Amino acid sequence: MKKSMRYIKRTLLFLIAIFCFLTGFTPETTHAFTPQVIQKGATGDDVIELQSRLQYIGFYNGPIDGVFSWRTYWALRNFQYENRLKVDGLAGFTTKKKLADQTKFDYGWVHKQIRKGNKFTTYGGVPKETQVKKSTGKTGAGAKGTPAKQGAKGNAAKPGAKAAVKVRTPKQGANIPDGYSQNDINLMANAVYGESRGEPYIGQVAVAAVIINRVESSEFPNTVSGVIFEPGAFTAVADGQIYLTPNEKAKKAVMDALNGWDPTGEALYYFNPDTATSGWIWTRPQIKKIGKHIYTK
Amino acid sequence: MIRNALIALLVVAVAGTGYWGYKQQQEKNAIRIQSENNYQRAFHDLNFNMDALHDKIGETLAMNSKRQISPTLAQVWRLTSEAHNNVGQLPLGLLPFNKTEDFLTKMGDFSYRVSLRDLEKKPLSNKEYNKLKELYANSSNIQDELRKTEAVASKKDIRWTDVEMALSKKDQPHDNTIIDGFKTVDKSAQGFGETDFGPEVASMHNAKKRNVNKLEGRNITKEEAKKEAIKFFQLKKNVKITVKETGKGSQYRAYSITMYNPDTKATTYMDVTKKGGYPLWVLQDRKVGAQKISVNKAQKEAISFLNMHMKSKMEVVSANQYDNIAVFTFVSTKDGVRIYPDTVSIKVALDNGDIMGYQGTDFLTSHYDRKIPAAKITEQQARTKLNPKFKVMEKHMAIIQNDVKQEVYCYEFLGVIGDETYIIYISAQNGDEEQVKKLREGQPDYASM
């Protein structure tokens, strides 16, 4: 008797598991958003869903890249306006519910396209197959986005016209501090790692801050690459250590420096007192010592 | 027999090694020559730029028609930028050669400002004319020194790669011509690096020189700085704290505090001003786990942190999530006006919502109780100054620093042209378009494509 009870229990559990699995991964789930309030500047899966759903009803024509950018922001505000919601650009409970009621979101399909790096759109009423462009192909024939407002007028998108719209960004995007590019970040991470990988975290932020201070100073070249590759400026450039692959710590340090943290007190130079070869560097007014390096004006 | 075989083998080995060595030597030489060529090109280009610069400044001096001065100064601007570029490619990193770069930058800014100015309305002042004359004389000095260096270097067959080696090895090179030459160049540049380029150009580059002298309060001691840190973070006893004072060279006198919390395994760094004990910045280093809280929640944490530590009213102007970190920028507001020079940044960990960083240096050095002037033009008038294709979505009032670092009271219009978002500032005093900025969308991660 006991044995058969256990058996039933097991089967039940198994069935529940299957049920969960199916509901969780069935395409076109209608209620997915996590409970968070999504706002401008956020990144991640919820933003991908938000963009996909807004695109489904034609409010959003930008790339589905998971970055809550300005385009997403205006699209969301238009949606809120059209639906007589509070226009605050925040995807809270009511907004998300309204959005989920009006649209469909195929989690598995969308994420598959993102993983594969395909260009795709999620307009409603258009067969999915026609909305994908494989990443191997060349850049689409011009990304003609219809202005957000225009699409917002009709409730459902006009299939024929929309299917031609290509989305630019194939993979998930990222926020970048103002005035710099992803390339600058990579280059700086390389320089920071090559120069100071043995230093404590704050010492790495400091090296990155010196690079930024130099870019902003009139006495140095005014680009990140110009400053880093100025001959003789950094030993890691001279001995090739800049070409080592930087780790996460160095990248984080660079991000902190780009976001405005400067532990050096506006230093333009630094040197390691144990190995410094130039006598001149000792004549610079010293600000402070961080890790092994002395930072000077 | 065996002996013969061994000899043959040895001969082959020696010949092989010799050939290999010869190849290596050749490759090394090729690379050396290549980098020498790069240096030579930069050096000769620099010479050419300085010659042209000298001539162009001379032409400006002789000109009378405003119609001609502007384009010539625009050329001066271009030449300074090219010369600056070439200086940056010479291996002078270990030489004090910054005054020349400084001179070139300022010369560029000066010519840029003047060339863009409506010279009909505001012609070259006497002072500016004299400035140009001075620049003319000084650029001729630099030109002379560079020429001398060039001549001696080519006569004695001095290589830049040798100079570079000598500089990096510190031992005295056989011939100091190039190094000495450049030292002289820099010295002559120093003379006018300090000349007065007028308030506009000077302020463009003094902007970052922040000072905290106007802060209220007396100088605090190391112990008090420690207490300040404990208060700021509401620390418990088991935290290890070290305090160091900054050196004489620093822009502002401060204490650098390092705190290690064994419970959270977090190291927190902080600078506190000596005068008044104000926190300049805070940065925490710890392992941040996967995201658990939303950016929106993190923003609330940041706001409550600011409410706890700051008296001024603050408003969030930007939020950015970087993986498991969010960074928020706040500006102070007065009577609903955003005061952009008063900026504070807050970094929040998205695994538990802890504040991981605070950057208040800008706020501390620029904040004072500003008087908001009355707007001389209405919002309607300001809107007529906008590009007709620009669709306004949001409007605020703001005080911003324009590109000559003066504070202006503006209408801030946030809106779109097509798919792109722009922010446009129209002066509330005279309707000038003070600043136009294109706002960033998310950037694709090309590395993962």
ipTM value for the complex: 0.80
Q: 3-state class of B316 per DSSP? A: strand
Per-residue pLDDT at B361: 87
Same domain, A152 and A189: no
A226 belongs to a structural domain: yes
The CATH number that applies at residue A101 is: 1.10.101.10
Judge: A168–B444 Cβ closer than 8 Å, yes or no.
Answer: yes
Q: Which domain holds residue A272?
A: 182-296
Note whether A74 contacts B319, CB cutoff 8 Å. Answer: no
- Cβ(B89)–Cβ(A228) under 8 Å? no
What CATH number does the domain containing A246 carry?
1.10.10.2520
Question: Which pLDDT belongs to residue A17?
Answer: 55
Widest distance between CA atoms in chain B: 108
> A91 and A35, same structural domain?
yes
Render each residue's pLDDT in chain A as its tens digit; 297 residues.
455 666 666 665 565 555 544 444 444 444 568 888 898 988 888 888 899 889 888 888 888 888 898 999 999 999 999 888 888 888 888 888 888 888 888 888 888 888 877 788 888 777 777 777 766 543 333 333 333 333 333 333 333 333 333 333 335 678 888 778 888 888 899 999 999 888 899 999 999 999 999 888 888 888 888 888 888 788 888 888 888 888 888 999 999 999 989 888 888 888 888 877 667 778 788 888 888 888 888
Q: How far is it, in rounded angstroms, from Cα B383 to Cα A129? A: 45
Residues A41 and A137 in one domain: yes
End-to-end CA distance of chain B: 64
Domain check: are A207 and A235 in the same one?
A: yes
- Rg of the Cα trace of chain B? 30
Whether A116 and A148 map to the same domain: the answer is yes
Task: Choose the closest CB to B250 out of A71, A226, A288.
Answer: A288
Quick check: is A285 in a domain? Answer: yes
* Residue B28 neighbours by CB distance under 10 Å: 10
| CB pair distance less than 8 Å for A43 and B448 | no
Q: Is B271 on the interface with A (CB under 8 A)?
A: yes
Residue B119 has a pLDDT of 74
Query: For B423-437, how does the pLDDT look when each residue is reduced to its tens digit (9 = 90+)?
Result: 999 999 888 888 888
Residue ranges in A58-147 assigned as alpha helix (H): 70-82, 93-102, 107-116
pLDDT digits (tens, 9 = 90+) for B50-70: 888 888 888 888 877 767 788
Closest CA to A71 of B419, B358, B418: B419
Mean pLDDT of the region B245-273 = 83
Is A220 in Cβ contact with B101 (below 8 Å)? Answer: yes
Report how far residue A139's alpha carbon sits from residue A146's, in angstroms, rounded to the nearest whole number: 18
Q: How far is CA A36 from the centre of its chain?
A: 18
Q: Does residue A168 sit within a domain?
A: no
Displacement of CA B104 from its chain's centroid (Å): 16
A143 lies in the same domain as A186: no
Residues near B36 by beta carbon (within 8 Å), at least 6 away in sequence = B159, B160, B161
Say whether pLDDT at B12 is over 90.
Answer: yes
Residue with tokens 């300090």: B194
Residue B6's pLDDT is what?
A: 92
Domain count for chain A, please give it.
Answer: 2
Instruction: Kindly state whether residues A38 and A148 are assigned to the same domain.
Output: yes
| pLDDT tens digits, one per residue of B135-152 | 888 888 888 888 888 887
Residue A221 and residue A269 share a domain: yes
Per-residue pLDDT tens for B175-221? 566 677 777 777 766 665 555 555 555 555 544 556 666 777 788 88
Q: Is B416 on the interface with A (CB under 8 A)?
A: yes
Mean pLDDT (whole number) for B158-186: 68
Query: What pLDDT shows up at residue B338?
Result: 92
Answer yes or no: do A157 and A37 share one domain.
yes
Annotated domain spans of chain B: 25-206, 211-286, 292-369, 379-438
Give the 3-state DSSP-derived string for B277-296, with helices as H, strands as E and coil as C. CCEEEEEEECCCCCCCCCHH
- β-strands B337-349, B391-401: how paired? parallel
Same domain, A194 and A148: no
pLDDT of B93 reads 63
- Residue B15: band (very low, low, confident or very high) from pLDDT cuts 50, 70, 90: very high
- Residue B444 belongs to what H/E stretch? strand B443-444
pLDDT at A145: 37
Answer yes or no: do A131 and A238 share one domain.
no
Contact B197, B109 (CB under 8 A): yes
Give B-chain residues touching A218 at CB under 8 angstroms: 101-102, 105-106, 205
In a domain, A170, yes or no: no
Angle between helices B66-87 and B98-116 (to 10 degrees): 150
The pLDDT tens digits of the residues spanning B325-376 come to: 999 999 999 888 999 988 999 999 998 888 899 998 888 888 888 888 888 9
Amino acid at B87: V
Residue A2 falls inside a structural domain? no
- Contact between A185 and A258 under an 8 Å Cβ cutoff? The reply is yes
Q: Please name the CATH architecture into which domain B292-369 falls.
A: Roll (3.10)
Asked if residues A62 and A51 have their Cβ atoms less than 8 Å apart, the reply is yes
Beta-carbon separation of A44 and B291 below 8 A: yes
**What is the spatial distance between Cα B188 and Cα A53, in angstroms, rounded to a whole number?**
65
The mean-pLDDT minimum among A46-55, B104-113, B416-425 falls in B104-113
DSSP state of A254: H
Q: pLDDT value at position A137?
A: 42
Q: Per residue, what are the HEC states of B99-166?
A: HHHHHHHHHHHHHHHHHHCCCCCCCCCHHHHHHHHHHHHHHHHHHHHHHHHHHHHHHCCCCHHHHHHH
